[in-house]
Amino acid sequence: SWISGAYDRAVANEVARTNRHAPLWELGRVHALHFDQPTAILRNDAPALSDEFASGRGRQNLYDDEAGTIFLQRNRLHVRVNTPGQLVWYHTDSSLPNYWAEVDVAHVDGDLSNGAGLIFGYQDDSNLYEFLIGVDGYYQLAQLADGEWSQLTEWTRSDAIRMAPHMTNQVGLLINGDGVTLLANGIVLTHLNNLTIPPGELLLVTETFDSDNAEFAFDNLHVWALPQTQPKQTPTRPKIGE
């Protein structure tokens, strides 16, 4: 979808970065878990959504206002934010209830602590979940409910995230019932259970915090629907004498 939108997060900016620089001891063993086997099984099937953002060498603007710009260039989708404390997102038209999603996210411009990643469970501009990584090596999961932000995970450092200007990271997201698994470059960052995630759209997002601008480029978006598990049927037996 070429539909796009922006949401002003300046009010929550100070709270969002309070715990940005978490100590290294917070890196748990879960960060070393590889996710190759489950994703390899899913990749045997055709994805429900696949977008390589084919555009050729020229630039094609999709969205442009004072908040930010979305455009296609050199077969990548660029999402740029032009003001501090702002989100700009791109709708993918995917709204599966349970799925595995992955997308390549490359830093193009702006401070390394800016974030980019995936919004999921999107209901409207005031109700959504957001998974961000920065090329400074940190990630966060946050929820926006009725216009109020809360952190489901604090900003946490992980060696799984490639750190440097213009670096590319593959962001992965597994939604299965009330469970959410976040990945970077095929390595599990964290897993959360008991979340109430309504079916909603999957979006690509770039966000600024204190810096004036940020630009990330997205490529190789693939979304696989998880196999539906059927409840076990208990056979009924006729009563004696029937």
107-136 confidence digits (pLDDT tens) = 999 999 999 999 999 999 999 999 999 999
Write down the pLDDT at residue 148.
93
Evaluate whether residue 238 is within a structural domain.
no
Residue ranges for the chain with pLDDT beneath 50: 1-3, 8-35, 37, 230-239, 242
- C-alpha separations of 113 from 47, 185, 203, 217 in Å: 32, 18, 20, 16
Distance CA 67, CA 161 (A): 27
Write down the pLDDT at residue 152.
95
Burial class (CB in 10 A: 0-12, 13-18, 19+), 162: middle
Evaluate whether residue 113 is within a structural domain.
yes
Evaluate whether residue 59 is within a structural domain.
yes
Evaluate whether residue 236 is within a structural domain.
no
Evaluate whether residue 128 is within a structural domain.
yes
Structure tokens at 157: 């450092």
In the DSSP assignment, the letter for residue 10 is G
Q: How many domains does the chain have?
A: 1
- Please report, for the domain that includes residue 176, its CATH number: 2.60.120.560
Evaluate whether residue 231 is within a structural domain.
no
Structure tokens at 193: 């259970």
Element holding 13 (H helix, E strand): helix 13-16
Evaluate whether residue 25 is within a structural domain.
yes
Write down the pLDDT at residue 38.
52
86, 213 in Cβ contact below 8 A?
no
Distance CA 62, CA 68 (A): 11
How many helical (H) and strand (E) elements, i.e. helices and strands, does the chain have? 2, 16
Write down the pLDDT at residue 227.
79
Evaluate whether residue 242 is within a structural domain.
no
Q: Which domain holds residue 148?
A: 4-225
Whether the pTM exceeds 0.85: the reply is no
